[in-house]
Structure 1
């Protein structure tokens, strides 16, 4: 329970003057002109999907990585300006990124 919840419990009639900001990550990301590269590799015998080529801010790319991982319910990481997703999810990732407005290029296979 944070401070706002405690204050609401103490003063239920009080109306907050500042509206809470909406978390809309789709509009916050910078859409680039160059396509993102979506490729498939096997590392140590396990399939992974790699997304690279983002030229915007690192924080935006990290937010995109987190959103992809939660949407697909898979593990992954963000290293060296690339997103690494566990498993072969190229088709699903490409449709998600296209819905967000990114240009995506499939590399290999």
Structure 2
């Protein structure tokens, strides 16, 4: 068999002839205007959350087959409507990455999630108190 002839890829004259932008030059184009400095709007300070009352957070294992559950109960949740409680539980479940439920006016979150639950409740204006173990 005969050896195949190699094609040149050195970028000679053949490539310049095929360049669609070869005839363009930037000499006749106007200079771009400098972009104006962005004007930053003053950010208003976040409003203090509404005080909603006390919520006790407990870690409970008794009567649950050895599984740990975080319970949230208290007078702060007694004055909360059912739709708002469901919304709060959904947010807590998403934030903790676990399951949970509303039973009466008590919120149950699976696992020992006291710190994450406390942070979310404080952000919403509840006064959090750790109770029990």
Report the TM-score, using the length of structure 1 for normalisation.
0.66
Match for 1:51 among 72, 76, 83?
72
Q: Deviations over 1:3-31 (max 9, x none)?
A: xxxxxxxxxxxxxxxxxxxxxxxxxxx75
SS at match of 2:56: strand
- Give the match for residue 60 of structure 1: 84
Task: Give the SS at the match of 2:118.
Answer: helix
- Establish whether residue 76 from structure 1 lines up as the match of residue 100 from structure 2: yes
- Structure 2 counterpart of 1:41, from 54, 60, 77: 60
- Counterpart in 1 of 2:7? none
- Kindly name which structure, 1 or 2, has the bigger radius of gyration based on alpha carbons: 2
SS in 1 for 2:69: strand
- The offset of 1:100, in angstroms, is 2.1
Counterpart-to-counterpart distance in 2, 1:98 and 1:104: 7
Give the equivalent residue in structure 1 for 2:116: 92
State the Cα distance separating 1:80 from its structure 2 match.
Answer: 1.3
Q: TM-score, normalised by structure 2?
A: 0.55
Aligned length: 81
Which has more helix, going by share of residues?
1
Q: 5 Å matches for 1:22-33?
A: 31-32=51-52
List, as ranges, runs of 4+ consecutive aligned residues in structure 1 with deviation greater than 6 Å.
none
Quote the offset at 1:102 in angstroms.
1.4
Aligned mates of 2:54, 2:88 — CA distance in 1:
15
Unpaired runs of 5+ residues, structure 1, are: 1-29
Unpaired segments ≥5 residues, structure 2: 1-49
